[in-house]
Each structure stands twice: as structure tokens, then as C-alpha cells.
Amino acid sequence: MAKTHLLGPWIRRFLLEYVVNERNLARNTQLSYRDTLRLLLPFVSEAIRQPLDQLAIDQLSPPLVQQFLGHLEQQRGCTVATRNVRLAAIHALARFIALHSPEHVAWCGELRAIPFKKTASSPLAYLDKAEMDALLEAPHRQTAQGLRDYVLLLFLYNTGARASEAAQVTMADLSLTSPPSVRLVGKGNRVRHCPLWMKTAQSLTPLIMNRARSEPVFRNRRQQPITRFGIRALVQRTVATASQHLPSLRDKLVSPHTIRHYLPFLTMSGHVKKSADMFGNQRSRHAKSHWITRHSFLGYRQFRKLSSGS
């Protein structure tokens, strides 16, 4: 007879069957759930002095979970946002167990009654046109790494891609024929096709010569696929270089996400005409759809004014 009161078999089903097969959650969500349990289980085992493989479902009590959340913030120095992510994973596990084991519905309700903490979202830094230009001019394009840095910054500027999206772009995702575009896979495996400016397509050409369709577009110094952490380090390195010529950058915390939000900030500041150089006089359907997709708050009339420079 199966020991349905033990926590171990339920965790195995949760991670290997429910999360992967039944829900088909994104890989990062799967890893987040796994990492939460990797922290939670040793904490519970030590707190109640019980071997990991003998932990029972009811021993994962609400007071113990609250102690674990406090441990994350106080001992591990986690932010409130991280604490909430860990709690969401615990809620998901409790919901899964209650769904398949009705006798644990009350236990699930008690765990899910643990509230999320309210977080204060920090304001995002913004860039003006001169600062964006300074970032693009900072890399030394005569070197292979400098060329890679410039093209990657231009790609982020053009597409508004997240660092993780840019890191996983392969040759098969690129189409440099007229009109050029790129296929991006975002959160939740949502796919979108983003037009590329001719300047971006022309800059990409020397970087990707003689590569197979399965190879990544952006690689690190060891010729391996660059990671989102590598892209973040690249942006920080470029900001440090550009700030020597433009001191205003020293007071700003610039990340790849700052570049992603450059166009919305520029538009909401009322200086849409400054963006005209991005489009030139192109009024193609691709540019139109790209602009409306990324910035639905900007009407097409404003887009036409922007693109014509009027």
C-alpha cells in the first residue's frame, strides 16, 4: 500500500509529472519550483529533526513555512519579491497535493492562507537620446569582441528584446532578406516576429558569417552561447566606458531592461520626434506592426508623424 502521507512521492510527481507534462510550465518556472523545494526540505528536516525521506505532508505546517520564509529574508538576505516567489511554489505544491488527495484539502487551505507580502516596485532608470548614442559608440568595433558588443547593443535597442530572449536567438531565427526580421521567444514560450532596421541587419552580417542554422547569433569569448548574465555584464561594462565621456550615465543604474524600455520612456516624455532617426522614412507594414506591438499606447497617427520626422 502506497504511503500517501509521505511528502517525498508527492514532490516527485509534482516536479516530474505535473509541472512538466500536465502544465508544461516554462523551464525557468520548473527550476524555480525545484530550487524552492531544495531550500525548503532541508530546513524542515532540520527544524523537526526528521530524515528527508520520512517527512510527512502534515509536518509541512503553516508555522514552519512562515519560519522558512523568515529565514529566507533574514538569514539568506532574500528580497520580498524572492520570498513571494518561493511562497508561490509552496502554494502550487499544496494545491497539487489537495487536488489528488482530498484528505489534505484542509491542510492545503491553511498553507494557501499564508499571504504574499506587498512589494514596492523601484522606478526604472531611463536614457535620453544622447546617452543611448553614447552606449552604441562606446565599443571598439575594430576588435571582434567590440563588434559583438556593438551589434548586441544595437539589437537590444532595435527589438526591445529581453536579455534572455537575445541570448537564445539562433541563426534559424534570423531573416536578413528584405524586409529583415527576427523571431523572438519570450516569457511563457510566446513567439513574436520583430522587424529589424537595415542598419541592424547590415551590422549582423559580418558577425554571423559561415555559421550553421543551429548556432547562436551572439557568443561569448569562448565561442559559447552568451547568457543573460553575460549580456548584463556587457551592458554594465559599456556604461562604465561611456560614462567617461557622458557623466550623466554615472548616476543611473542601467541594465538590459533599461534599453528595452528606452522607446516607451522617450515616447511618454513627449519627445517622440527624437526617435525619427530609428525609422528614417520607412512606413512599411512591418515597421508599423512593430511599433504598435511594442507600444500600443502610441497611435498610428503619431507613428506616421514620427517616421516622417514632421
Q: Looking at the annotation, which residues are catalytic?
A: 162, 187, 257, 260
Helix (H, G, I), strand (E, B) or coil at 217: coil
Output the nine-digit C-alpha cell for 80: 520580498
206 in Cβ contact with 161 (< 8 Å): no
Angle at 151 between CA 174 and CA 159, to 5 degrees: 55
* Whole-number Cα distances in Å, 126 to 133, 149, 251, 290: 13, 20, 11, 21
Cβ contact 51:1 at 8 Å:
no
User: For the chain, how big is the Rg over CA atoms in Å?
Assistant: 24
Could you identify the residue written with the cell 561569448? 220
